[in-house]
């Protein structure tokens, strides 16, 4: 398939898990892909090599999404390395647990800096480079819409913030022909939340389908929004959660 042939994409935080799956899926559709990572240079290199082995083009570079200069620099480097930017996928995100009464200021700042400020700054920096037909796709969480248990309140608030940012940015960029959307995973089998981990049985019980999703499930939704089928979809959220918030 080559629905994204000639497109240039940046996927933040893509050395593993959902981000890696998104990068590979975009490349499989013909896009040239840049990925960022914070510390996992070896894993990022593996993603690049896998894409190149399949005949695609990929580059990777370190960029901490909590660092404003690094976030803005990742956009500029992508443009320099790939010759432009058509698709920005704000995937980088962190999770910190703790009740509101107990969560530390350090964890609050980390969540806000990566999950909210990092997305805003990357999107802001991308605007000057995205052409008509460009895409901004952010990876949210079903916990940004519904919080069925305690201990994730601040994390959930950061993902909820993306929903209003997404709606407003879609209004601002619509006249330029740029779409802005969120893909909202539910329980997805990754290192952060393995399908055989603690609490997995509870999460499966909350789903209509009763099974964890895979990173590839999330990537498929991103590819759809990035491609021709997503040209009339903006300011909205696609939830991929097996029916957990139905």
- Return phi, psi of residue 212, to 5°: -60, 150
Q: Is the dihedral of CA 100, 198, 43, 136 positive or negative?
A: negative
CB 138 within 8 A of CB 166: yes
Q: Is the dihedral of CA 146, 152, 158, 159 positive or negative?
A: negative
Residues sharing a CB contact under 8 Å with residue 143, sequence separation 6 or more, in sequence order: 152, 155, 156, 159
CA distances from 101 to 86, 108, 118, 168, 196 (A): 42, 12, 25, 31, 29
Q: Helix or strand or coil: residue 1?
A: coil
CA distances from 144 to 90, 124, 167, 201 (A): 15, 22, 14, 21
* CA 26 – CA 108 distance, rounded (Å): 32
**Catalytic residue annotation:** 155
35 forms beta bridges with 11, 60
Give the distance, in angstroms, between the CA of residue 83 and the centroid of all CA atoms in the same chain.
Answer: 22
């Amino acid at each position: 398939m080559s629905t994204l042939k000639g497109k240039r994409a940046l996927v933040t935080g893509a050395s593993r898990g959902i981000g890696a799956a998104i990068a590979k899926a975009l490349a499989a559709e013909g896009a040239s892909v840049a990925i960022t990572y914070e510390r996992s240079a070896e894993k990022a290199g593996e993603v690049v090599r896998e894409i190149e082995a399949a005949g695609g083009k990929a580059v990777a570079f370190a960029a901490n999404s909590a660092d404003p200069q690094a976030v803005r620099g990742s956009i500029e480097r992508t443009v320099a390395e790939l010759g432009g930017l058509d698709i920005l996928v704000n995937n980088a995100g962190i999770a910190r647990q703790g009740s509101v009464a107990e969560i530390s200021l350090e964890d609050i700042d980390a969540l806000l800096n990566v999950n909210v400020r990092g997305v805003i700054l990357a999107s802001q920096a991308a605007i000057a480079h995205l052409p008509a037909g460009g895409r901004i796709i952010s990876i949210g969480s079903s916990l940004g819409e519904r919080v069925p248990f305690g201990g994730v309140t601040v994390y959930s608030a950061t993902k909820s913030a993306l929903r209003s940012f997404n709606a407003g940015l879609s209004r601002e960029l619509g006249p330029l022909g740029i779409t802005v959307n969120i893909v909202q995973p539910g329980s997805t089998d990754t290192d952060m939340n393995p399908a055989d981990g603690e609490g997995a049985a509870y999460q499966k019980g909350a789903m209509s389908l009763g099974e964890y999703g895979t990173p590839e499930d999330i990537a498929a939704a991103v590819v759809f929004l990035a491609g021709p089928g997503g040209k009339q979809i903006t300011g909205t959220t696609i939830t991929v959660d097996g029916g957990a918030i139905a």
